[in-house]
Structure 1
Amino acid sequence: MATLVQIVVTPGSGDGRAVAIAREVRKRLGKEGYAARLHAFRTLDELVQWAKTCRAAFSSLVAIGGDATVSAAAEAAIRLWVPFVPVPSGFGNLFTNAFEHPSDPDEVVALLGRGDLVWSDVGVASGEMFLAHRSYGYLARIQEDVERLHRPRQRYRRLLSYYQMAARQLSDGALDAIQVEIDGHAVPGKAGLVTIANVETYRGFLSLTPAASPADGVFDVCVIPRTTPARILAQLIKVMLDVPGCRDELDLYRGRHVRVRVNRRKPQDVRILDGALALLIPAGSFDRLRARQVAAQANAPVVRPAPRERVASERAPAAVRGFPARSTPPGVVV
């Protein structure tokens, strides 16, 4: 009996390219002797619901789309204890960039037979899993406003929308006041921007967490103090251009449990599931990720680990942690 591979896709991802990629992957899987089933979801909410309730009827899961799509689908892979292959076809593709996942259908199929198996960390915030990051404050407001008003599919138009929204918010003097605790340790003062990252955010564009890795059991947390929108935007532009001293006003922390309170609202807990996701990656990509991480730690300000809590952060389900031995062990960052 042929091995059944489940393919999931959100048609809106990647300027409509995601469905075309999914069909090609299904066709090539059939030629390689796999049984492949394709499910296209009209909305992300439909995919989220499927991931929480689908039956264990497949042996591998392939998810095609952007960071939101692959994060939603990953919950099914974790819950059912099956290997996961994310395929980039979105705007940011931050998680897939970390491990150099391909979008070429032939290379995607090759991962199922010859990919390395690693155990990836997963973040949990407000009951939802994420693979890339959670942001609060200035950047989050820009992203929310762009996607609420109009979210262009074309990459260049999406970038332009973000720049326009950032410029528009310069005239708004109000910034969120964010209180942050990391592993029970309160970060001094209030922040205007907080990014809790499982991967480098945003690699190749605005690297706020250059040493973040989804295989080290901790988040990298970037905190920018609350000042004015103009000063925060200027700080981000300096990081984008990588000018000398661009990180002088950024604080980087590392921890497993982050508590964020925005404008005195109810605190939100963000926790890491250490090694929860069985992930198939291109051969050699894990070593290249570790090399980038080591180089980033040497060139960027030292990441200051916060004191750990006495109570451990959430752990992966027992069944997941009992999966067969890793083919590639996770990195250990000191």
Structure 2
Amino acid sequence: MLAVTAADHPSVAPPADGPVAVLANPAAGRGRHRELLPQLLERLAAAGRPVELLRACTAEQAEQVCHAAVAGGAAALVAVGGDGTVHRALQAVAGTAVRFGPVPAGTGNDFAADTGFPADPLAAAEVIAAALREGRSRPVDLARITGADGVRRWYGAVLAAGFDAIVNERANRMRWPRGSRRYDLAILVELARLRPRRYTLRLDGEPVETDAVLVAVGNGACYGGGMRICPDADPTDGLLDVVVGGRFDRRTLIRVKPRIYRGTHVAHPLVHSYRARIVELAAEGITTYADGERALRLPVTVTAVPRAVHLLR
């Protein structure tokens, strides 16, 4: 099967003197880095290029203004926030020549961490500014999701299609309680309802059918703020790592879940790992989450796209 490359998609060649567009989410990380934004912009401006702060009030608007900035000639796009902010920005730069820099300022910063950016936002901004000054970038892979209706999305870290996606979906439907307690309650509700589901996968055309509780497709290793669900995933190898946790009961899942932070869960006899360029995934009643953001309902096809984004590193 032919490998898919970023060249298979329309590429935008940014002007050499184009501005640096900055998407900032002031609510990221519960707002703890909000006061750093002026310093971050100052560090980025030290690269000698004009810096334009993008304005958006919703996630959908954030995505729209990123697309507009790329279409309008931005030389680079910088996302200040967590994985959700990065996810929105990636929709605009994926498959283009517009360079990208994530400044980790959220609760979960898995894409930035997996691709080697400093955890400190100011240090990350300095790395990005240095890359801008020196005209360098590093290409890494992205994953592209295609739904049954042809809708496409991109992600950089992990696609969740099992218990974690189900919990996220329930939490997003709940109006009470607020904050992290809502997610905790959603976990309790879904643990009480836990049951393996029948999944059908095709890995580079090879069929696999299994009953499972956890299913993740990783371009990178981590999701959920450092959980190494796909511990061997490498965002430069042109492949996707698929981790499937089988017929866990509640007690076993609770016991295994903490091991995901270290990536040692893959040694459990009910966990199976695969690697493929193209992953077709189907199951009933599952809405996937990519980079922690609500994505597409199953069935989906996930494709590894080598060198799909050029990081300012």
Shorter-normalised TM range: 0.7 to 0.9
Tell me: CA distance 1:18–1:152, structure 2 relative to 1, closer, same or farther (3 Å): farther
Match of 1:24 in 2: 39
Alpha-carbon distance in 2 for matches of 1:171, 1:216 = 39
Match of 1:276 in 2: 308
Q: What SS does the aligned partner of 1:187 have?
A: strand
- Give, in angstroms, the shift of residue 95 of structure 1: 0.6
Contact 1:239/1:247 (CA < 8 Å) preserved in 2? no
Alpha-carbon distance in 2 for matches of 1:144, 1:263 = 14
- Give, in angstroms, the shift of residue 211 of structure 1: 1.0
Tell me: CA distance 1:141–1:212, structure 2 relative to 1, closer, same or farther (3 Å): same
Alpha-carbon distance in 1 for matches of 2:279, 2:143 = 10
Alpha-carbon distance in 2 for matches of 1:24, 1:206 = 30
Tell me: CA distance 1:17–1:243, structure 2 relative to 1, closer, same or farther (3 Å): closer
Q: What SS does the aligned partner of 1:170 have?
A: helix
**Corresponding position: 1:11 with 2:26:** yes
Match of 2:7 in 1: none
- Give, in angstroms, the shift of residue 151 of structure 1: 9.6
Alpha-carbon distance in 1 for matches of 2:33, 2:66 = 18
Match of 1:221 in 2: 242
Match of 2:105 in 1: 89
Alpha-carbon distance in 1 for matches of 2:20, 2:261 = 40
Alpha-carbon distance in 1 for matches of 2:99, 2:265 = 42
Which structure has more relative contact order (CA 8 Å, sep 6+)? It is 2
Alpha-carbon distance in 2 for matches of 1:224, 1:238 = 13
Which whole-Å deviations, capped at 9, do the CAs of 1:206-233 have from their partners, x for residues lacking one?
A: 3221111111101111011134344333
Match of 2:8 in 1: none
Alpha-carbon distance in 2 for matches of 1:176, 1:87 = 37
Consecutive unaligned residues of structure 1, counting only runs of 5 or more, are 282-334
Which whole-Å deviations, capped at 9, do the CAs of 1:86-111 have from their partners, x for residues lacking one?
A: 11112221111112323433541342
Q: What SS does the aligned partner of 1:236 have?
A: helix
Match of 1:112 in 2: 129
Contact 1:179/1:191 (CA < 8 Å) preserved in 2? no
Tell me: CA distance 1:280–1:258, structure 2 relative to 1, closer, same or farther (3 Å): same
- Give, in angstroms, the shift of residue 122 of structure 1: 0.8
User: Which piece of structure 1 moves more, 106-115 or 268-277?
Assistant: 106-115
Match of 1:301 in 2: none
Alpha-carbon distance in 1 for matches of 2:242, 2:282 = 15
Q: What SS does the aligned partner of 1:209 have?
A: coil
Match of 2:141 in 1: 121
Alpha-carbon distance in 1 for matches of 2:277, 2:249 = 29
Tell me: CA distance 1:255–1:152, structure 2 relative to 1, closer, same or farther (3 Å): farther
Match of 1:67 in 2: 83
- Give, in angstroms, the shift of residue 64 of structure 1: 1.0
Match of 2:12 in 1: none
Tell me: CA distance 1:52–1:111, structure 2 relative to 1, closer, same or farther (3 Å): closer
* Residue identity matched to 2:130: G
* Residue identity matched to 1:104: P
Which whole-Å deviations, capped at 9, do the CAs of 1:295-328 have from their partners, x for residues lacking one?
A: xxxxxxxxxxxxxxxxxxxxxxxxxxxxxxxxxx
* Residue identity matched to 1:276: A
Tell me: CA distance 1:107–1:172, structure 2 relative to 1, closer, same or farther (3 Å): closer
- What do you get for the CA RMSD once the two structures are aligned? 3.1
Alpha-carbon distance in 2 for matches of 1:244, 1:131 = 22
Counting only pairs closer than 5 Å after superposition, residues 1-334 of structure 1 correspond to structure 2 as: 4-17=19-32, 19-54=34-69, 55-78=71-94, 80-102=96-118, 103-105=120-122, 107-114=124-131, 117-125=137-145, 126=147, 127-149=152-174, 158=180, 162-202=183-223, 205-240=226-261, 246-263=267-284, 267-281=299-313
* Residue identity matched to 2:277: R
Contact 2:17/2:75 (CA < 8 Å) preserved in 1? no
Contact 2:25/2:85 (CA < 8 Å) preserved in 1? yes
